[in-house]
Amino acid sequence: MKTVIAIGCAAALLAVAGPGGASSAGSTSCTAGVKTVGGATQRTFCGPAKATVKIGGKTLRFSGGKCEKLGGFYTVNIGTITLPPSKPKSMYFGFTTTKKRGGRYKVFGNVTVAWETPGTRYALGNGTVKISSSMKRGSFAGTTILASQKATGSWTC
């Protein structure tokens, strides 16, 4: 069963509002910014951040992203997000929290974990997130909204 759900408002807004700019040092194949592809608005992120998600017997790998603090939020954006209402066309992983330091937190409230693959959006609806004290890496475990699939994963900046 596919999980079809819009990503948390905070994650989607931060994905669009985040600074654009040139590709990261050493990477010439990525162009960060907002563009329209086939009528869908997409936001591409570039940089050294990467993530892995395990769900339904599959391992999904995301690369080319950034971690940053924006207006009281700590956010991780990796890949290219296709903004709703269009269906996802690319690979994207996003994590957002209002927490100011590392620790273990419950999903929802102050934490959003979401990702998309072509055709499907996922959001963690129940679970926990652990953030390193440096805020440069983290991991999560829980179940997705709607389909209640178990998912685990991690990211590094």
Please provide the average confidence, as pLDDT, over all residues in the chain: 84
The per-residue pLDDT for range 81-94, each reduced to its tens digit, is: 999 999 999 999 99
User: Residue 14 falls within a domain, yes or no?
Assistant: yes
Q: Which residue has the tokens 């985040």?
A: 18
User: Residue 54 falls within a domain, yes or no?
Assistant: yes
pLDDT value, residue 156: 97
Please give the residue range of the domain that contains residue 100: 9-156
Contact in structure between 122 and 144 (CB atoms under 8 Å): yes
Q: Whole-angstrom Cα distance, residue 121 to residue 2?
A: 8
User: Residue 45 falls within a domain, yes or no?
Assistant: yes
User: Residue 1 falls within a domain, yes or no?
Assistant: no
Mean pLDDT is lowest, of 109-113, 124-128, 131-135, for 109-113
User: Residue 138 falls within a domain, yes or no?
Assistant: yes
Q: Which residue has the higher pLDDT, 52 or 133?
A: 52
Q: Tell me the sheet residues that pair with 117.
A: 120
**Could you give the number of structural domains in the chain?**
1
Residue 12 has pLDDT above 70, yes or no: no
User: Residue 127 falls within a domain, yes or no?
Assistant: yes
User: Residue 116 falls within a domain, yes or no?
Assistant: yes
Report cis status (omega within 30 of 0) of the bond before 48: no
Q: Which helix (H) or strand (E) holds 139?
A: strand 137-144
What are the distances in angstroms from CA 2 to CA 42, 75, 122, 141? 21, 26, 9, 19
Residue 16 has pLDDT above 50, yes or no: no
Overall pTM surpassing 0.85 (yes/no): no
User: Residue 88 falls within a domain, yes or no?
Assistant: yes
Q: Residue 110 half-sphere exposure, CB side, CA atoms within 13 Å? A: 15
